[in-house]
Amino acid sequence: MTSQPWPHFNESPGYLTEKGFLLEEFMGKYFSEWLYMEDALPNKCPLDEEFYVYANSIQRTLFSAQAFVNSAFPNCNVTIHHETETKTDPIFSPYIHNSSAIFKKIALKEMKNVLDNLKLDFSYQIMENILDYNDSDLCKIDRDCNMVTDKNKLQIAVGKKPKLSGPLKICNEAVDEFIMAYYNGFAMKDIAWGKLNNTEQWLPILDLMAGYHNVIFNTTHVANDIAKPLIKYMTDRFINKTSKIILLMGHDANINVILNAMSFKFYNLEDSFVSTPVGGKIVFQKWYNIHLNEYYLKINYIYQSNEQLREAHVLSLKTPPKSTLLELSHCKMDENGLCPWDDFIKFLNSL
């Protein structure tokens, strides 16, 4: 997609970087301090029924979980549960399950509607300039030289992730690399070849990444289908209370489909390039009102800001990560950000 040299990462594609491991350790340390402060955990190594960890079985999610527990509970042998019999875990894999022709027709129609309504001509032109796209192999060999007019193609197949090929996918891959290089602390001259030095320059290309994820994961039928196994797992744990605290370590794709399938209201994350930043956690909390003898739900997005990620700021109760209150459309929130727990469970059972 470009004739220019990409910056070198020490890790293989798709693997957790050394910096990523460090950042997840900081998250683990912060969360343990918070949980101990709230008396949610005993001041000792937690058992499974106190703190249960379930991670997707690919390298970067397993290692992220390991980094988290290493720092949260040093010198403790906390088990990281994961699927071992298959290469992909059906709980976390962002794959289509519904094989019916009518589902495929409706899902593709919804995806195409989102794709057709994206206004990205300016963003494509900016990306062409950053990549020097006219001098790329894609242009010279495949003759795909104009991102604005080149076609995006959609595909849906059972057992596979929804597929989008064409200029929007190319742009998403490029932006993903730029963001990872930024978070990893590379010099600005090595990020997008020195062409992204202020917020105004980042905004148009971030729209490309947001557009890609909206097409792939943020339509009703696709999100509901992909999220179903994970929501079923979560619902069972919420109702049956198998453990006091559960850490689920998956993908940004999991968060994308959960946000849509559970009808979260629109939110904005301050000081973040994206709506699902690396290492971010959606935290479901169960609160108890002593005076009313009633339980409530509170949901926060806990994440590291762009600066905290790039500069590797150590996190603590005194220097916490960022936090944004989230709201469900089907669970009315009061002035304290709480909604009735029974309403939440009733909603989960309806999904």
Q: Per-residue DSSP letters for 36-81?
A: HHTT-S-SSPPPTTTEEEEE-SSHHHHHHHHHHHHHHSTT----EE
Contact partners, residue 255, CB within 8 Å, separation at least 6? 276, 280, 282
| Whole-prediction pTM | 0.95
**Long-range pairs, 38-41, Cβ under 8 A, ≥24:** 40/244, 40/245, 41/244, 41/245
Domain boundaries, the chain: 101-222
DSSP 6: P
Whole-number Å distance between alpha carbons of 320 and 283: 15
5 exposed, middle or buried (CB, 10 Å; 0-12, 13-18, 19+)? exposed
Average per-residue pLDDT in the chain? 95
The secondary structure element, H or E, covering residue 113 is helix 101-116
Contact 46, 87 (CB under 8 A): no
Stretches where the chain sits below pLDDT 50 are none
The secondary structure element, H or E, covering residue 299 is strand 294-303
Q: Which amino acid is at 304?
A: Q
Please tell me the predicted confidence (pLDDT) of residue 88: 79
99 exposed, middle or buried (CB, 10 Å; 0-12, 13-18, 19+)? exposed
Whole-number Å distance between alpha carbons of 65 and 67: 5
Please tell me the predicted confidence (pLDDT) of residue 133: 96
Query: From the CB of residue 38, how many other CB atoms can be counted at a distance below 10 Å?
Result: 9
Please tell me the predicted confidence (pLDDT) of residue 276: 96
Please tell me the predicted confidence (pLDDT) of residue 42: 86
Whole-number Å distance between alpha carbons of 183 and 180: 5
Contact partners, residue 272, CB within 8 Å, separation at least 6? 303, 305, 306, 322
Question: Does domain 101-222 match CATH 2.20.25.240?
Answer: no
Please tell me the predicted confidence (pLDDT) of residue 86: 65
